[in-house]
Amino acid sequence: MSEKEKVILVTNDDGMFAPGLHALVKAMKGLGRIYIVSPDSPQSGKGHGITLRDPIRFNRVYTFDGVEAYECSGTPVDCVKWATKVLLKDQVIDLCVSGINHGANASINIIYSGTMSAAMEAAMEGIHSVGFSLLDFSFEADFSAAEAVARQISEYMLTLEERPLRPLLLNVNIPAVPQEQLKGIKVCRQANARWVEDFQEGVDPRGMKYYWMAGELINLDEGSDTDIYALDHGYVSVVPCQFDLTDYNALDKLKKSMDVQ
Amino acid sequence: MSEKEKVILVTNDDGMFAPGLHALVKAMKGLGRIYIVSPDSPQSGKGHGITLRDPIRFNRVYTFDGVEAYECSGTPVDCVKWATKVLLKDQVIDLCVSGINHGANASINIIYSGTMSAAMEAAMEGIHSVGFSLLDFSFEADFSAAEAVARQISEYMLTLEERPLRPLLLNVNIPAVPQEQLKGIKVCRQANARWVEDFQEGVDPRGMKYYWMAGELINLDEGSDTDIYALDHGYVSVVPCQFDLTDYNALDKLKKSMDVQ
């Protein structure tokens, strides 16, 4: 009795050469037929951006042993749109995994993150999806614990209903510690945190002023049920996400002040 | 008895020369002290992208009669970050308005839209914010009805609490009809709709294949309380928005399947 082979789409926002992508592909080996569509250059912070005013290139690349892979000149979301609408348009994609991102995507970072935006785009297409991020920006980061987490969570995702009406979309962040020091997995909500930017001013070699964005994420949330709290306490954080941005709490009050019918 | 003059930040995603921006500035005249920080080129579909790997330029421009205006080499969200953290860092901004976008931003477009992402970024900074969009992509669009709506809604926004704990963030879309044909304002929720892309294949002058993204928004929502429904029936749609993407409905079930503590 042969079961249909699962189809897994892998993408990221750090680009095709990022070690985190290779770690994620390694973690998926044996779980199904893997396809990679990934940006040809780093796309951190591109959010849910798409390429509308320019053509987009997709080229087959052969640097992933035995895995069908394509580089994309556009954004992470472009990758997912093309993968679902062109490359795999006649196939059911069972799972989309994005990452493993070099650096945290907890809390409000989900809004800025190309990694999570790619996963979200796949979820919009009805595909169970996960964005994985390791709390280490370095290219020399140790991805072994993150790989094991990605494997475990992806195995769980592949047990879920096929072609769901409402796919599961997870934002998974992994502390940068050896695997044996991970305390476990915590399902949590997005912490209320925000970036406080420091724009560094400089002058370029031609004498023109520029700004370069830096900043720090400030946690404004005292809850112990948030992703930042879980990460601070050594747990892998898992936040289930959705993309209806309606503020339902404000709806009724606003109707009273504003509706003119 | 003199009241403190209100401070209004104006931005958009179609760029500094877009007629919709000029219409919005005109609509704000007399409501307070206006500052414009807007991209130097069209940034449609840039979502919540920010510029991290490159310096960003901001230059004073003098094309808006009597209004302090700056062009930005980055994204709409860059504009708002710089405006709040550098240009107006010592001032309370009472309102941020973004637009008037050339084309609809109803439903799921909020995720892709630079216009709405700029407004959302300002709301993250605690500023009451509105993104305005006219359902007409043309540069020759008639903005007179949209201007009147922007004026009316902005006047309402300026009556709200100063420095609120939870600012009001609105996604406002305006049908492309003469003002007297507008049926009124409807407060509604984000419709469940999605883009079905058609990637048009082509070959460039150098013989290389490219794809160009096109597509159509498909409404999957039968509700009569959605923004798409309101617009289809001649109303201005107003959706209050927020940026906690946690799927609270999935939280408990997922905890049962996944928490390992």
Dist CA A183 CA B87 (whole Å): 44
Residue A61 sits at the chain B interface (C-beta within 8 Å): no
Dist CA B131 CA B100 (whole Å): 7
Nearest CA in chain B to A46: B49
Dist CA B243 CA A245 (whole Å): 6
* Confidence at residue B121, expressed as pLDDT on a 0 to 100 scale: 98
Contact B123, B164 (CB under 8 A): no
Residue tagged 């997922």 (tokens): B254
Position A34 in a domain: yes
Domain extent for A88: 7-191+223-258
Position A41 in a domain: yes
The H or E element containing residue B7 is strand B7-11
For residue B244, CA distances in Å to A39, A170, A193, B10, B239 come to 27, 14, 10, 24, 15
Kindly provide the b/e burial profile for residues A71-89, where b requires at least 16 CB atoms within 10 angstroms of the residue's own CB: bbbbbbbbbbbbbbbbbbe
Position B197 in a domain: yes
* Confidence at residue A41, expressed as pLDDT on a 0 to 100 scale: 95
* Confidence at residue B237, expressed as pLDDT on a 0 to 100 scale: 98
Mean pLDDT across A253-258: 90
The CA distance from A84 to the nearest CA of chain B, in Å, is: 9
Amino acid at A190: Q
Nearest CA in chain A to B51: A45
Q: At what angle do helices A19-28 and A144-157 cross, to 10 degrees?
A: 50
Predicted confidence band of residue A261 (pLDDT cuts 50, 70, 90): very low
Residue A29 sits at the chain B interface (C-beta within 8 Å): no
**Helix or strand or coil: residue B259?**
coil
Does the predicted TM-score (pTM) go above 0.90? Answer: yes
- What are the structure tokens assigned to B228, written together? 């798409």
Dist CA B35 CA B98 (whole Å): 12
CB contact under 8 A, B245 and A111: yes
Closest CA to B123 of B171, B89, B91: B171
Question: Which of A48, A108, A169 lies closest to B47 in CB terms?
Answer: A48
Position A201 in a domain: no
Q: What is the CA radius of gyration of chain A?
A: 19
- Contacts of residue B261 in chain A, CB cutoff 8 Å? 183-184, 186, 235
* Confidence at residue A54, expressed as pLDDT on a 0 to 100 scale: 95
Provide the 10 A C-beta neighbour count for residue B261: 8
The CA distance from B254 to the nearest CA of chain A, in Å, is: 7
Instruction: Identify the sign of the CA torsion A229, A231, A233, A238.
Output: positive
- Round to the nearest angstrom and report the end-to-end CA distance of chain B: 61
- The enclosing domain of B91 has a CATH number of 3.40.1210.10
Asked whether the predicted pLDDT for residue A132 surpasses 70, the reply is yes
Nearest 5°: the CA angle B24, B30, B34 is 60
* Confidence at residue A66, expressed as pLDDT on a 0 to 100 scale: 87
**What are the residues facing B101 on neighbouring strands?**
B133
Tens digits of residue pLDDT in B143-170? 999 999 999 999 999 999 888 888 999 9
Dist CA B174 CA B238 (whole Å): 9
- What are the structure tokens assigned to B100, written together? 């008037």
Tens digits of residue pLDDT in A170-221? 999 999 999 999 999 999 999 999 999 999 999 999 999 999 999 999 999 9
* Cβ burial, residue A64 (10 Å; 0-12/13-18/19+): middle
CB contact under 8 A, B168 and A51: no
Instruction: Identify the sign of the CA torsion B108, B114, B116, B117.
Output: positive
Tens digits of residue pLDDT in B208-233? 999 999 999 999 999 999 999 999 99
Task: Give long-range contacts, CB 8 A cutoff, 24+ apart: B152-161.
Answer: B153/A258, B153/B185, B153/B238, B154/B8, B154/B27, B154/B28, B154/B31, B154/B95, B154/B97, B154/B130, B155/B31, B156/A257, B156/A258, B157/B95, B157/B128, B157/B130, B158/B6, B158/B31, B158/B32, B158/B94, B158/B95, B160/B128
Dist CA B134 CA B174 (whole Å): 5
Predicted confidence band of residue B261 (pLDDT cuts 50, 70, 90): very low
* Confidence at residue B260, expressed as pLDDT on a 0 to 100 scale: 57
Predicted confidence band of residue B53 (pLDDT cuts 50, 70, 90): very high
Dist CA B184 CA B179 (whole Å): 10
Asked whether the predicted pLDDT for residue B201 surpasses 80, the reply is yes
Contact B24, B149 (CB under 8 A): no
Position A217 in a domain: no
Instruction: Identify the sign of the CA torsion B39, B40, B45, B49.
Output: negative
Dist CA B80 CA A190 (whole Å): 23
Tens digits of residue pLDDT in A37-78? 999 999 999 999 999 999 999 999 998 988 999 999 999 999
Contact A26, A150 (CB under 8 A): no
Mean pLDDT across B127-148: 96
* Confidence at residue B1, expressed as pLDDT on a 0 to 100 scale: 44
Position A1 in a domain: no
Mean pLDDT across B117-123: 98
* Confidence at residue A65, expressed as pLDDT on a 0 to 100 scale: 86
Dist CA B170 CA B37 (whole Å): 19
Number of compact structural domains in chain A: 1
Residue A168 sits at the chain B interface (C-beta within 8 Å): yes
**What are the residues facing A105 on neighbouring strands?**
none
Tens digits of residue pLDDT in B160-196? 988 888 899 999 999 999 999 999 999 999 999 999 9
Residue B102 sits at the chain A interface (C-beta within 8 Å): no
Task: Write the secondary structure of B109-172 as one string of H (helix), E (strand) and C (coil).
Answer: HHHHCHHHHHHHHHHHCCCCEEEEEECCCCCCCCCHHHHHHHHHHHHHHCCCCCCCCCCCEEEE
User: Peptide bond preceding B36: is omega within 30 degrees of 0, i.e. cis?
Assistant: no
Position B2 in a domain: no
What one-character-per-residue DSSP string does B213-229 give?
EEEEEEE----SSBHHH
Position A51 in a domain: yes
Residue B48 sits at the chain A interface (C-beta within 8 Å): yes
* Confidence at residue A1, expressed as pLDDT on a 0 to 100 scale: 45
